[in-house]
Amino acid sequence: MTNVVVIGSQWGDEGKGKIVDWLSSQADVVIRFQGGHNAGHTLVIDGVTFKLRLLPSGIVRKNKISIIGNGVVIDPWALLNEIEEIENKGVNISEKNLIISEAANLILPFHKEMDEIREDAAGNSKIGTTRRGIGPAYEDKVGRRSIRVMDLLSENNLERRLDTVLQHHNAIRKGLGKKIFKKDQLKKELLKIAPKILKFSQPVWKKINEFKLANKKILFEGAQGVLLDVDHGTYPFVTSSNTVASAAATGTGCGPSSIGFVLGITKAYTTRVGEGPFPTELKDEIGEELGSRGKEFGTVTSRKRRCGWFDGVLVRQTIKISGINGIALTKLDVLDELDEIKVCVGYHLNGQSIDYLPAAVDDQLKVKPIYKSFKGWKSKTKGVQDFAKLPENAKNYVKFIEKFIETKVSSISTSPERKDTILIINPFS
């Protein structure tokens, strides 16, 4: 039985929601393994739109088990609000279809405040975070002072843990001239919501092992994209977790042998939210047209996305780093009206040609793309569900991408509708 990991192969926002929704209809278990409520997946089920931030995509489907793994950082109030929001749309959420890892770390109000303080103070050096406390929460996790779901079980233990984490944060806040954070009120608020969170809490690693023994199909749902990985992305303009496929194992408590197929969701052009290097960015009318036609605004933040040509060098690089077995090419129809379409096939750096994005941010900002040009197809691909029915120039574009990135195109999305997909390889088969 093949278990599938879905990740973004670019900077996120590749259209994972639609693909994950289609895959979750086949899966028995859907698991989030990293990130926080900064990533949004939009699903449309029977005409109802769901915008998920922390809840796995399987939650909107009957007879599916959804899991939030230990690799996720959870804002408990945001989670409870999201549960209420989804239940108001007719979805039943209970301990039977939602499991939260007892080892997951919590995002607390001072994390969000620290995120805002840092971004505001950074000026031109800001990273462009979503200001939701994700980074500071991961810092506390690595610093071994974090509050975890299991800590909500005991008032005495929670008080000790709060003393530890606030000793750290209040020292920083004092140095920045900010008000000291009071423990008692926060403890009271956490104890109030503790039963609502703890009822979903289980040892996720144990449950996954049970599902594997029962031959359940498991879908591991990633957030953001490989280029935002804290180790392999455009550091420091990255998220605070590992977004590569191997994080599915550490972020849930199962071995890498549990993963059978890695699917990289890949947009037919490139977008990025926030600050940082973007070699193929288009600051012209074409960039504006891509953004307009592609409705390039964030699901969670509504922030406008930067747009540019498809960067084959970067996608090939993320495929190697993350062990991607096939890509789902999305938003091909956004390119329908263009006379000419370009693909980045290399970079110029300091007078030399290179075939990868270097690790140093100064070099990443200096590289100049080398392009290969293609004639546009100037005809409609929206709604096409058969590769043979694509315009010839669109076929040439897809075939070139497949050859250049050295990985199969497993599907092509030709509209936001789930039915408008050209399926070539089913990852679960």
What percent of the chain has pLDDT above 90?
81
- 3-state secondary structure labels for all residues of the chain: CCCEEEEECCCCCCCHHHHHHHHHCCCCEEEECCECCCCCEEEEECCEEEEECCCCHHHHCCCCEEEECCCEEECHHHHHHHHHHHHCCCCCCCCCCEEEECCCEECCHHHHHHHHHHHHHHHHHCCCCCCCCHHHHHHHHHCCCCCEHHHHHCHHHHHHHHHHHHHHHHHHHHHCCCCCCCHHHHHHHHHHHHHHHHCCEECHHHHHHHHHHCCCCEEEECCCCHHHCCCCCCCCCCCCCCCCCCHHHHCCCCCHHHCCEEEEEEECCEEECCCCCCCCECCCHHHHHHHHHCCCECCCCCCECEEECEEHHHHHHHHHHHCCCEEEEECHHHHCCCCEEEEEEEEEECCEEECCCCCCHHHHHHCEEEEEEEECCCCCCCCCCCHHHCCHHHHHHHHHHHHHHCCEEEEEECCCCCCCEEECCCCCC
Is 13 assigned a catalytic role? Answer: yes
Q: What's the rounded Cα separation, in Å, for the pair 263 and 327?
A: 6
Q: What's the rounded Cα separation, in Å, for the pair 416 and 19?
A: 10
Per residue in 287-315, pLDDT (tens digit) is 999 999 999 986 556 678 999 999 999 99
Mean confidence (pLDDT) of the chain = 93
Residue 118, pLDDT score: 79
Q: What's the rounded Cα separation, in Å, for the pair 422 and 384?
A: 7
- The token pair that represents 298 in the structure block: 């964030």
- The token pair that represents 413 in the structure block: 């999305």
Residue length of the chain: 429
Q: What's the rounded Cα separation, in Å, for the pair 96 and 394?
A: 45
Q: What's the rounded Cα separation, in Å, for the pair 357 and 3?
A: 30
pLDDT band at 128 (very low <50, low <70, confident <90, very high): low
Please identify which of the residues 37, 41, 111, 232 carries the catalytic annotation.
41
Residue 225 has pLDDT above 90, yes or no: yes
The mean pLDDT value for 3-31 works out to: 92
Residue 51 has pLDDT above 90, yes or no: no
CA distances for 83 relative to 54, 76, 163, 323, 395, angstroms: 9, 11, 30, 33, 42
For residue 51, give the nearest of 76, 23, 21 by alpha carbon.
Answer: 21
- How far does Cα 237 stand from its chain's mean position? 15
Residue 146 has pLDDT above 90, yes or no: yes
Lowest mean pLDDT among 23-27, 116-120, 292-296: 116-120
Residue 350 has pLDDT above 80, yes or no: yes
Residue 123, pLDDT score: 65
Lowest mean pLDDT among 99-103, 111-115, 364-368: 111-115
Residue 39 has pLDDT above 80, yes or no: no
Per residue in 166-196, pLDDT (tens digit) is 999 999 999 988 899 999 999 999 999 999 9
Please identify which of the residues 13, 21, 229, 311 carries the catalytic annotation.
13
Residue 49, pLDDT score: 84
Residue 46, pLDDT score: 76
Answer whether 13's CB lies under 8 Å from 269's CB: no
Q: What's the rounded Cα separation, in Å, for the pair 224 and 238?
A: 10
Residue 119 has pLDDT above 90, yes or no: no
Is 355 assigned a catalytic role? Answer: no
For residue 278, give the nearest of 240, 243, 307 by alpha carbon.
Answer: 307
Residue 302, pLDDT score: 65
Lowest mean pLDDT among 257-261, 269-273, 301-305, 409-413: 301-305
